[in-house]
Amino acid sequence: MQISRRDLFRSSAAVGGTAALGSAGLADAAVAGPAVRGTTTSTVLGKGDAGAGGWRPVVRLAGEKHVVRTGLGAKPGKGRVRRRKAMAAFAQLSDVHIMDTQSPVRAELGEFASSSAYRPQEMLGAFVADAMVREINKIKRGPATGRKLEFTIQTGDNSDTAQYNEVRWNIDLLDGGRKITVDSGDPSRYEGVMDQSLDFWDVNFWHPDGTPVGKPADLGTQSGFPTYPGLLDAARRPFTPEGLNMPWYAAMGNHDGLVQGNFPINASQNSRATGTAKVLSTDGTRIRQVTPDRNRRLLDRSEWVDEHFDTTGTPKGHGFTAENRSKNTAYYYFDRGAARFVVLDTVAEVGDNGALDKRQHTWLTRLLDRSRDKVVVLFSHHPLSSFEDQGLARKIRSELVRRENVVAWVNGHTHTNHIWAHPRRKKGKVVGGFWEINTASHIDWPQQARLLEIADNRDGSLSIFTTMIDHSGSLAFNGDLDDPKQLAGLSRLLAANDWQERDNERRGERTARNVELLVRAPKFLRAKAKKNKKKKG
């Protein structure tokens, strides 16, 4: 959910103690090391100069080295590159928003539609997801440590409106190996706001087949968008995704658990989703009849979790357990070596803000009490700053900063790259804390994912490397509507030019992209470092 449009993204000060960027939080130099092909250490995709109507091409820019960030009590020690030992390496996908763009339950309401409810590129999301999977498979290893990527995690909004067909498309995309068809309703035609229906022509939506005679030009055409006849049909054709060649895990986002990411699932909403009436005005008087589809049925939390057990990928359940199924929960943890990864469910009962109920909060507290011999990384969809109850957010933050083995919280939701420091202070001095790493979306520009690596510098500090990756979609569109790679690239081009988003630079600050985040090592690792130092001494 794009919370900037609804003024939901609160300042970092709202959760208290977030370190401001400045000279105290940045080291003087970038990390030395070779650029790794396929990552933004080698090249970055950006927007070129604007032409007619403001249309911009996607262009290659110079790669970005890892900038060192301090601010949590650990300093960049000399020789750490030589000493360090990789502990974990994985990929994060967030806000993929695989969606049924023809669904009657979508809130596409003409002039009142925003980029939270409609985007010109949204029908191509499956091709973007496949192109990102292919890029991750190709990269194989973390660019900073060289450690093999061990797993991928989706941090929510994997689907767009909790529909069965969207959830299945997402799971089958990540599993790969069998054809999927991102289509619903009438299999012979596209029935959505971007088609050529004369009775429901609306200038607020781009129509890739062009403007019919006698109709006014839509906002896309006015914004320099070309026409691509046949694009809507191309988006509906079956294709075979590659699938991740590693285990993958899932977290629930508000779009996975609520209708359009905001409204509770109930019988009335389910009837709308599977029915024939697509409402196109705020007063409910403009209604388009579409072909009904039972596969648009809405899934509650339990049903959503259950679908992850119908998979050809690993692990079965993708992190969810038999206990999740029996207790109707969607939070869990898994271990890899000395690292413990905790996946939270931050979906509220209503609305797109984050939440954590008392039962889950108690579970988390008890789990952390048992995790003192682990380096802990949290995952969720929402960042702390988007929690509805900011008192709860401050309480959670305080509990986490007291635990020196919690080093990072990785999330999404904002559709923009951010990284915040949450310091722990003792007598006014910063002596630790954790990093909150917030990653952009697949659905909006820049359509990026993030690689993360954790390394023990064996000097009392850890380094958390984050590296952005652009998907393998084509840089420029050559007109081939049968090529999934071309369609993925076209989606990125459309996202770069979305007239609703032109003022948003969702790549984020330079210090929220390719960085080395230093944090004090937990006590059990500091003890090992001290012991090793004595041996060498």
Q: Is 113 inside a domain boundary?
A: no
Q: Is 324 inside a domain boundary?
A: yes
Q: Is 287 inside a domain boundary?
A: no
Q: Residue 383: which CATH number?
A: 3.60.21.10
Q: Is 278 inside a domain boundary?
A: no
Name every residue whose Cβ is closer than 8 Å to that of residue 427 and which is 6 or more positions away in sequence. none
**Pick from 341, 343, 335: nearest CA to 376:** 341
Q: Helix or strand or coil: residue 436? A: strand
**Pick from 105, 389, 407: nearest CA to 271:** 105
Read out DSSP for 90-136?
A: EEEE----B--TT-TTS---GGG--TTT--TTGGGHHHHHHHHHHHH
Q: Is 233 inside a domain boundary?
A: no
The token duo for 482 is 């049968």
Give the pLDDT confidence score for residue 36 in this predicted structure: 79
Q: Is 216 inside a domain boundary?
A: no
- Cα separation, 461 vs 239, in Å, equals 46
Q: Give per-residue pLDDT as tens, 52-67.
A: 999 999 999 999 999 9
Give the pLDDT confidence score for residue 33 in this predicted structure: 62
Q: Using the CB atoms, write b or e for 259-270: b if 16+ within 10 Å.
A: bbbbbebeeebb
Give the pLDDT confidence score for residue 533 in this predicted structure: 65
Strand ranges (E), 94-220:
151-155
Strand partners, 93: 154
- List, for the chain, all residue ranges whose pLDDT scores fall below the cut of 70: 1-34, 113-115, 532-537
Q: Is 13 inside a domain boundary?
A: no
Q: Helix or strand or coil: residue 231? A: helix
Give the pLDDT confidence score for residue 92 in this predicted structure: 98
Domain with 507 in it: 22-56+71-103+121-189+242-265+298-536
- Cα separation, 222 vs 206, in Å, equals 9
Strand partners, 154: 93, 250
Q: Is 212 inside a domain boundary?
A: no
CA angle 451, 455, 458 (to 5 degrees): 170
CA angle 503, 509, 515 (to 5 degrees): 150
- Cα separation, 353 vs 349, in Å, equals 10
Q: Give per-residue pLDDT as tens, 97-136.
A: 999 999 999 989 887 766 678 999 999 999 999 999 999 9
Give the pLDDT confidence score for residue 3 in this predicted structure: 40
The token duo for 129 is 């997801």
Number of domains in the chain: 1
- Cα separation, 288 vs 275, in Å, equals 11
CB 16 within 8 A of CB 113: no
Read out DSSP for 341-385?
A: EEE---B-SSSSSB---HHHHHHHHHHHHT-TTSEEEEE-SS-GG
